[in-house]
Structure formats: structure tokens, C-alpha cells
A and B are shown apart, each in its own frame.
Chain A
Amino acid sequence: MAHLPLPEAQLIDQYGPHLNYEPPGGWHAGGPPDRLVKTHCCFCGIQCGIQLKVKDEKVVGFEPWTDFPVNEGKLCPKGVKRYLQNNHPDRILAPLLRTKRGFEQFPWEDALSLVAGNMRRIQKAYGKDAFAILSGASMTNEKSYLMGKFARVALGTANIDYNGRLCMVSAGAGNKMAFGMDRAANPWSDIPLAQCIIVTGSNVGECFPILTDYLWRARDNGAKLIVIDPRMTPIARTADLFLPVRPGRDSALMNGILHVLVERGWIDQAFIDAHTTGFEQVLETVKAYPPQRTAEITGVPAASIVRAAELWAEAERSMLMHARGIEHHTKGVENVLSCINLVLATGRIGRPGCGYGTITGQGNGQGGREHGQRCNQLPGGRDIENPQHRQEIATFWGVEESELPQKGLTAVELFNAINDGTIKGLLSISFNPLVSLPDAALTRAALEKLEFYAVIEPFMSETARHADVILAGSLQEEDEGTVTNGEGRVIRLRQSVKPPGDARVDWDIIIDLAQRLGKGEFFPYTKTEDIFQELCRASAGAPIDYSGISYAKIEHNMGVFWPCPAPDHPGTPRLFEGGVFAHPDGKARFHVIEYRPPAEDIDAEYPLFMTSGRVVSQYLSGTQTRRIGPLVDQYPGPQVEMHPQLATQLGVKNGEIVRVESRRGELTLPALVVKTIRPDTIFIPYHWPGDQSANRVTNRALDPISKIPEFKVCAVRVTKATPPVVPLIRVVPFNGHGAAKGEQVQ
């Protein structure tokens, strides 16, 4: 059923991605805007405040929102140009139905009935769990809550998961294991107070540009910056100490630094004794990681390992921050826990300028993982396998506990189940797995096996091309609700314009589907605030407590940090003050981390590490940003970063085409020869689909705890492509005059 209805080129011709360069009416459409709407960027986990200019009920530009405390008007290029996604020619304006002639517009009533009918049919034929839901961590808290409730109550399927499974779940799992709570421990305003900062596995300058300002402010105050990364990124360039770690060796490096701290007596034994458990075993483990051995494993000079320990020890206040670079591994949770060991051993948490946190990559990476759209979780961060938690939510929702499904499959496992025929039907929203999952060939094969596939999206993503029905959903600026940014601040998105044409806000579509499934009584919402109030009540007394938050409170305070358990509670910007952690005994947990190699290490056949990541002008699978002309011009397509030593060895010059092969697939791209990457490693950004997809070669192997795939390291071989092929990218220098509106990129 889910083979492409038309050749891909024809689908691209009809639905894009095309490039939008100008606001509606062109650059010089006259007059001031009708209104400015204070809202937030639709991209990464910083969730910068921004004002969207609206004229004639269309978004026509932006104005910085300098009063919003997180970014004070600052924006990255994606934030600046995000308004160009509105009024985009690719926008899906009505439900689309797959026919033999391609996709055709279809009335809403018929589309919704068709989707609900297929849900019922598949569940009746194959069982409840044969229909799955995949949702996204860029969605509002309201939608995240709604999707979880829809899956468990309206559909009764265990199989709902979200694309945060490809993002921060290793950090979330590690946080919960060590601290008993999954949230960054500090507000970002603590960063400038630190005297030493370790940033590991995070290309801050390109992935979270606003945070560079926080780091610079810390350095203005004299802080030392240590950056750990296989690539010299823009922030690594400025570091006091740069540790160019070999991919997949992060936990060994942290053990090595802790070894030096222990050996020199630079740990905080009083804090360890009073506020933690399990240090004795860690102490024994790190004895086996002296600098020289650590250097041999990690590729980082022994002297640099010692220097990192010295810089960390000299500081009284320090912060450790990480992102996907250490989390996207089959031992992502272990990497995270090894970082936390370092923080706990030195007692650097729960004080101003002392803390720890992951930097969330998706727009609602934090809130998206809190309200029950994960396969193992119920609202408020409750555990779906905990009988008490199940009963609490069953009672709250007014259903029998026995009716609630048990834990389902995670995102990658879910595609494995589609591929092996266990799951027959799928509804996805805000998720583009064909680009974002590893081993894209397997993902496509799985999609082609689905009996029925429905999608809620505002644009035709690469995955949506395989759908039977596409329900025309909404962009962020067309809806309202809340998101929770990377520091745990719940903020308010305001509707700027209504969805165009016959498109509808996503939550309303879900409610309509629930009604058609005979469960409308459980979804009695008429506005997003109704959903928010319910999710807050649902979280009362839970690990993630929003019960004291309201829209009005968020507006008044420019955001509220959870936990906020009562209306008169001010919220909690800094966690674990006084060394009180969220485990029942109030103590944090050390974990023994013994280094083990990545799932696929290099060998004679595939002798190079490949790692993947972002560029500053693109966001995730590019469904939105690959449609915005000025952002595409800034970095038109993926390139293979390699060191000159490797390039010389391969006989490749800058710009020449190379073939990258792994055990799963291959791709052919131009080389970008730079001295800013380890000679044994190549880097490819992952935002592009098809022949340009880095995920043609990445590894589906999963972390055993978080089930996150190992995007950040696999083994490849690289050869100069012969005969030369035509470059796959169209390079348009950014000069303010882009290509014509509607020019195609592929």
C-alpha cells in the first residue's frame, strides 16, 4: 500500500521542497504590519522569544523581542528566516488522498472517516497494538499529552513513541538514574556564574547559537572553557582546552579525568558522603583509567586529560553540558552517567554557577518527553510499568487500569516491527523517519509494507510521500500552546495566524479522530488551554509536576520552571539545591561505567569513523528549513568533512566527489577538506534525504536502556568517486538575491 504513488521526481515537482525567498507580496509589500505577536521560534530547544509581524492575516517578517530573558532579541539564522515557512507554496491546504494519479484533495469528513475506519479495521484484524503512533518532540506540551492519551484511550495501542527517541533519551534516562529526575539541573542564567565549563559532544555554535553568548559571558568573568569533540567546531576554536576525542570513547575520557581528580585528592568527599551513594565502586573502576591508558583509548593526549582535571579542580563553581555528541551512542546512557559521576564527585551541583545539563535539540525536546507520548511513560513522567502510576492515570482519565496498554516499542523497534509485519498501520505527526532514522533503506522498506499509513503534517515530508492519507495540519505559528525549553522553563506560544485554506490545527484533528473512534467523551476540549489545564492536573504529585502552572502565570513571569506544584509556587529554576535529589532517599546515585567500544568499530575493511550532526542553517530532517531559500543558500547540501591527511591519502582535493560506504549503504558527496576534524574521522550533516542522506550509512544499533540509535559513530570506507559525477548540490552564494521563488532543490 505504501509504495510511492508517483515517481519521486513528480512528487517533488508538486509538493517540493521548493524554495521560498520572499514574504507574501514580495519584499516591498507596503505598509507597517497590522500587529506584532510575541511568540517563540519553532526550532531548537532554546525556544528564543521572537515577534512575528502579521499583515493581512499573513506572517510577513519578524522583529526581535528584546525583553524576553532567554535570548534578549538574539536569534540564529533559522530564527530570522523562520517566518518564510508561512505562506509557503508547498503548504498542504487540504487533506490529500493517495490515488492512482497521485495525491488528490479530499473532504475532511471523508478523510477522517477513512483514517478512523482503517484504524478500527487493522486493530480488529490484527490486535490493538498492530496500529502504531509516531509523534514528535517539536510539538506543544498540549499535543504531546493529547497524543499519549489518544493512543492509550482512543486507540488502546501500546505502540506510541516519538522522535525524541532519536534525540535526548539517553540524557533523560541517565538523569533519572542518577538524580531521580529528568531535567537540566540549572537555568541557563547559571552559566555565566561558572568558573569552569565542560562542553562535550555539543556543537553549540551551530546547534544552539544563543548559548554561545552565555558561554562568552562566563569567559568574560574569567571562566575556563573545555570542549570535547572530534571536530574543532566554532566554539571549540575558542576553548581554553580542546580534547579531540576519538568517536565512541567519551565515557573512557570522563573516567580518565575522574581518575586524575581522585588521585590528586580533588574530589568533594563531604558532598559524596552526605548526598550520594555508590561512589566506592566508581572509585575502584576509575583506578583502571590512568591518563596514559585513557589517552590510548580516546586519542586525547594524556597531558590534556590531566589539564582538564586541573582546570575543573581549580574552579569552585563549574558546569558540565552535553548534547547529542555523547548521547547518540549504543552507550549513550553510560556516557551521560560518566559525566554525572564527574559532577557528583566534585559536588558541583545545586548551587549558583554549579550544575549540569543536556542541551535539548528539538523545539520541545524537554516538554515532549514529559507528558506521556513515550512508549514507556504516562503523563507527569509516570512509569507505565508502575502499578501505582498506572492506577493514578487510569483514575484521572476515568478508565480501568487494566484497559491501559503496557509499555510499547520504541521508535526504531517500531520500524523493525513494521518491517517484520507485526505492525500493519501507522499514524505519524511531526516525524520524518525516512530522513531522521538510521539505515534509511530499511526504513523505506518498512514503509512500503504498511497496510495503511496516515500522516498529519503541514508539508509533504519525504516520509509523507508514502502515506495513504495526509491530514493537512498546522505550523507552530498557526496554533497556540506551551513548550518547555531546555532549561525547564515552560513558555507560551501564541497563535499568530490561522491555518491557511482548509488546513486545521493538529489537536483539533486528533479530537475529531477520537470522536470517530467512539471516544469523544474523553476529549472534551474546545481550546488548548483546556488541554493544558488537564495535563497540569494530571501531573499533580507526579515526578514532573506542572500543577501550579497556568497560561496567565507563564505570561506574567515570562515562563515558569517546573516543578511547580501549587498555584502560589514560584517554580524551580535550579534543581537539587542543598544536595537534595529526587530519589526517595534524597541522594544521587553514582554508576560504575566501564568503557566498551561502539557497536561497530573500525577495521581493515571499513577503516574510518563516520559521525553525523547539524549545520547552523538547517533543522532536523529539514522538512521546514529545506524550504526556506536563504537558509538553503547558506549551506546548500551535505559535504564530507575530512582532514587534509586523509584527503591526501585518498587522493582527494577539496570539492571533489567521494563515495562513503558502510555495511548498510553508501552515498556520494563532495569533500570538504578541513584541518578541523580528526584524521581518522569523517563528518556528514544529516538534514538531507535520499541520495544525500547521511542515514544511508549510519547504524541502527541501539542503546540497551534508552533505545537511542548510534548515529554518532559507525565504520565506513571512503574512496574518490570515479568516474567523476555531477555534484549533487546547487551552490548559490548568499548575496541577498537568491534564486527565483519556487526554484527546486534536490
Chain B
Amino acid sequence: MEFFVDPSRCIGCQACAQACAECDSHRGISMIHLDFVDRSSSPQTTPTVCMHCDDPTCARVCPADAIKQTAEGVVQSALKPRCVGCSNCVLACPFGVPRYIPALDQMMKCDMCYDRTSAGLKPMCATVCPSGALYYGSRETIVQMRREQPTNTFVFGRRVVTTKVSLMVSANTSALEVDIASFLPSPEDPSAGNNPQQVAA
């Protein structure tokens, strides 16, 4: 079972955020948030969940070694006894996910409903999402069901980040360029841009 996000289907209803706050392990606090791309121009919104990077930057930069990954690759919130509230993770995450919560003096973030998924349930947000923008299920099913295809490779300049969570993108997209630097000439080869294929190679 995997987690898939399709921002193009998001209707901005916030059912995900409202439901996230109902999970037993963090009741009253939502660990998913909703962003308007630009409300003045469009009702387009996007739900932001932790992408659960294979090599999580948030954990790499944590000076207290408070952010752990489960054996299944789920990146957890900062461990309360260790978190020093420095917000390094907040600043470092390329997807803008971790939130420092002053009332708790702790970083908390989406843990893919570890309490539910480890018990065979779906994450709360993906269960309730009324538009299918969040989906939890098998890769085979979603590939068969939708015109979009999942990708979990993101290119930030010269850095390639792979994640446990996939974004649904148009069928001919193998990786998502998210940094304009990717389109600029490379210092090593001024005649070429750093497209994902070059980086991956």
C-alpha cells in the first residue's frame, strides 16, 4: 500500500486537515495543511503531506537526532525528549512540511497515520478526501484507474530527492523539476541544462 497525492483534484475543502486532527495519536492537531496556490487567480489548492523522503533532509539537519524513520520508511515527528525546537527541519525540508509547534516546543508533522496504517487502516486524510486528491492503496490500482501516473522523483537543482509518497502527474513525466536552477546552464557544461535525466545519469 502506498500514498499518492494529486493536487489537480484538490477542491480545497480541508476535510483532510480536519480529519487529520482526529487521529488518536495527535487529536486536536492537524499535521497536514492546505495551501492556496493563489486565491486571487484561482481556487486551486494543494494538500501538503509529508513526502517521507528516502533520505530525509529534516532528519539529516536535526542536531538532536530527534527525527527517526521506521523500518517501512515512514519519517516520524521529532521525538519529544530529544527535540530542541530549533526548527532546522522546518527550514530544511524541500517540501515545506514540518511545523514547529510552540505550545509543545516540538516539531510535529504527518507520520502517514502510523497508528492507523500499522494496524491495516488507511491514513485518515486519504480515507476521507472526497475528491481523490489523496489516495492510499496499491500502485497497480491507481495506475489502472487514472490517466495520471505516479512519480516520486523530485529534482531540486542538482539534487534528486526520492520519496515514499508519490505525486500524480501527466503520464509522460518521470520526474518533477521544482527548481529553476535545473533549467539553467551547468557550470561544468555551459551548453546544457541540468534536466533530470542528466542528473540521474
State yes or no: do A and B come from one complex.
yes
B119 CB to closest chain A CB (Å) equals 12
Chain A interface residue count, Cβ-Cβ cutoff 8 angstroms: 49
User: Which listed residue (B39, B40, B129) contacts A74, Cβ 8 A?
Assistant: B129
User: Which listed residue (B22, B27, B30, B127) contacts A73, Cβ 8 A?
Assistant: B127
Interface of A toward B, CB cutoff 8 Å = 21-22, 27-28, 61-62, 64, 66, 71, 73-77, 79-81, 205-206, 209-210, 212-213, 216-217, 219-220, 232-235, 237-238, 616-617, 630-631, 634, 644, 654, 672-676, 734-737
Given A77-B18, A216-B9, A630-B18, answer yes or no on A66-B43 (Cβ-Cβ < 8 Å): no
Within 4-53 of B, Cβ neighbours of A (below 8 Å) are at 8-15, 17-19, 21-22, 27-30, 39-45
B129 CB to closest chain A CB (Å) equals 7
Contact A734 B40 (CB under 8 A): no
Given A61-B22, A80-B22, answer yes or no on A22-B42 (Cβ-Cβ < 8 Å): no
* Chain B residues with CB below 8 A from A71, complex form: 130
Contact B13 A616 (CB under 8 A): yes
Show 21 A/B contacts (Cβ-Cβ < 8 Å), sorted by A: A27-B28, A61-B27, A77-B18, A80-B19, A205-B11, A213-B131, A213-B132, A220-B147, A234-B45, A238-B8, A238-B9, A616-B14, A617-B13, A630-B21, A673-B40, A674-B39, A675-B40, A675-B42, A676-B42, A736-B29, A737-B103
Given the complex of chains A and B, what is the CA–CA distance between A200 and B147 in angstroms? 25
Contact B18 A80 (CB under 8 A): yes
Contact B127 A234 (CB under 8 A): no
Contact B40 A736 (CB under 8 A): no
Given A216-B131, A676-B42, A736-B29, answer yes or no on A209-B15 (Cβ-Cβ < 8 Å): yes
Given the complex of chains A and B, what is the CA–CA distance between A206 and B44 in angstroms? 13
**B128 at the A interface (CB under 8 A):** yes
* Chain A residues with CB below 8 A from B12, complex form: 205, 234, 616
Given the complex of chains A and B, what is the CA–CA distance between A74 and B30 in angstroms? 18
* Chain B residues with CB below 8 A from A235, complex form: 11
Kindly supply a per-residue 1/0 record for chain B positions 131-171, scoring 1 wherever the CB is within 8 Å of any chain A CB and 0 otherwise. Answer: 11000000000000111000000000000000000000000
Given A206-B13, A616-B14, A736-B29, answer yes or no on A74-B130 (Cβ-Cβ < 8 Å): yes
A714 CB to closest chain B CB (Å) equals 24
Which A residue sits closest to B29, measured CB to CB? A736
Given the complex of chains A and B, what is the CA–CA distance between A21 and B28 in angstroms? 8
Contact B44 A220 (CB under 8 A): no
* Chain B residues with CB below 8 A from A673, complex form: 40
Which B residue sits closest to A674, measured CB to CB? B40
Contact B40 A75 (CB under 8 A): no
Contact A77 B13 (CB under 8 A): yes
Q: Is the interface of B mostly helix, strand, loop or mixed?
A: loop
Which B residue sits closest to A238, measured CB to CB? B8
Given A62-B22, A675-B41, A676-B43, answer yes or no on A77-B14 (Cβ-Cβ < 8 Å): yes
Given the complex of chains A and B, what is the CA–CA distance between A630 and B147 in angstroms? 35
User: Which listed residue (B18, B29, B127) contacts A66, Cβ 8 A?
Assistant: B127
Having A66-B127, A71-B130, A736-B28, one finds 19 other A-B pairs with CB under 8 Å, namely A21-B28, A22-B28, A28-B27, A64-B128, A75-B15, A212-B130, A217-B132, A220-B146, A234-B43, A237-B43, A631-B18, A644-B40, A675-B41, A675-B42, A676-B41, A676-B42, A735-B30, A736-B29, A737-B103
* Chain A residues with CB below 8 A from B146, complex form: 220
A235 CB to closest chain B CB (Å) equals 7
Interface of B toward A, CB cutoff 8 Å = 8-15, 17-19, 21-22, 27-30, 39-45, 103, 122, 124, 127-132, 145-147
* Chain A residues with CB below 8 A from B13, complex form: 76-77, 205-206, 209, 616-617
B143 CB to closest chain A CB (Å) equals 11
Given the complex of chains A and B, what is the CA–CA distance between A212 and B131 in angstroms? 5
Given the complex of chains A and B, what is the CA–CA distance between A75 and B9 in angstroms? 15
Contact A80 B28 (CB under 8 A): no
Contact B22 A209 (CB under 8 A): no
Contact A73 B128 (CB under 8 A): yes
Which A residue sits closest to B20, measured CB to CB? A736
Given the complex of chains A and B, what is the CA–CA distance between A644 and B10 in angstroms? 24
* Chain A residues with CB below 8 A from B8, complex form: 238
* Chain A residues with CB below 8 A from B43, complex form: 205, 232-234, 237, 676
A-B contacts at CB below 8 angstroms, number? 120
Given A75-B15, A735-B30, answer yes or no on A216-B132 (Cβ-Cβ < 8 Å): yes
Which B residue sits closest to A616, measured CB to CB? B13
Contact A209 B130 (CB under 8 A): yes
Which B residue sits closest to A210, measured CB to CB? B130
Contact B29 A737 (CB under 8 A): yes
Given A235-B11, A616-B12, answer yes or no on A213-B127 (Cβ-Cβ < 8 Å): no
Given the complex of chains A and B, what is the CA–CA distance between A64 and B15 in angstroms? 12
Given the complex of chains A and B, what is the CA–CA distance between A225 and B39 in angstroms? 23
A28, A79, A212, A235 pick with most chain B CB within 10 angstroms: A212
* Chain B residues with CB below 8 A from A74, complex form: 15, 127-130
A713 CB to closest chain B CB (Å) equals 22
Contact A212 B11 (CB under 8 A): yes
* Chain A residues with CB below 8 A from B124, complex form: 64
* Chain A residues with CB below 8 A from B128, complex form: 64, 73-75, 79-80
Given the complex of chains A and B, what is the CA–CA distance between A638 and B17 in angstroms? 22
Given the complex of chains A and B, what is the CA–CA distance between A380 and B79 in angstroms? 61
Which A residue sits closest to B8, measured CB to CB? A238
Given the complex of chains A and B, what is the CA–CA distance between A317 and B38 in angstroms? 36
Given A234-B12, A676-B43, A736-B21, answer yes or no on A75-B130 (Cβ-Cβ < 8 Å): yes
Given the complex of chains A and B, what is the CA–CA distance between A232 and B13 in angstroms? 15
* Chain B residues with CB below 8 A from A209, complex form: 11, 13, 15, 130-131
Given the complex of chains A and B, what is the CA–CA distance between A216 and B148 in angstroms? 12
User: Which listed residue (A28, A76, A654) contacts B15, Cβ 8 A?
Assistant: A76
* Chain B residues with CB below 8 A from A634, complex form: 14, 18
User: Which listed residue (B14, B29, B39, B129) contacts A617, Cβ 8 A?
Assistant: B14
A19 CB to closest chain B CB (Å) equals 14
Given the complex of chains A and B, what is the CA–CA distance between A66 and B124 in angstroms? 11
Which B residue sits closest to A215, measured CB to CB? B131
Given the complex of chains A and B, what is the CA–CA distance between A737 and B17 in angstroms? 12
Contact A75 B14 (CB under 8 A): no
* Chain A residues with CB below 8 A from B18, complex form: 77, 80-81, 630-631, 634
A673 CB to closest chain B CB (Å) equals 6
B100 CB to closest chain A CB (Å) equals 12
Contact A75 B19 (CB under 8 A): yes
Contact B39 A237 (CB under 8 A): no
Contact B30 A27 (CB under 8 A): no
* Chain A residues with CB below 8 A from B27, complex form: 27-28, 61
Given the complex of chains A and B, what is the CA–CA distance between A206 and B131 in angstroms? 11
* Chain B residues with CB below 8 A from A238, complex form: 8-9
B65 CB to closest chain A CB (Å) equals 26
Given the complex of chains A and B, what is the CA–CA distance between A61 and B124 in angstroms? 13
Cβ-closest 10 pairs across A and B: A205-B11, A27-B28, A209-B130, A736-B29, A234-B11, A27-B27, A212-B131, A80-B18, A77-B18, A736-B30
Contact B11 A654 (CB under 8 A): no
A283 CB to closest chain B CB (Å) equals 39
User: Which listed residue (B11, B22, B42, B122) contacts A206, Cβ 8 A?
Assistant: B11
* Chain A residues with CB below 8 A from B17, complex form: 77, 734
* Chain A residues with CB below 8 A from B15, complex form: 74-77, 79-80, 209
Given the complex of chains A and B, what is the CA–CA distance between A217 and B132 in angstroms? 9
A37 CB to closest chain B CB (Å) equals 16
A736 CB to closest chain B CB (Å) equals 4
Contact B127 A737 (CB under 8 A): no
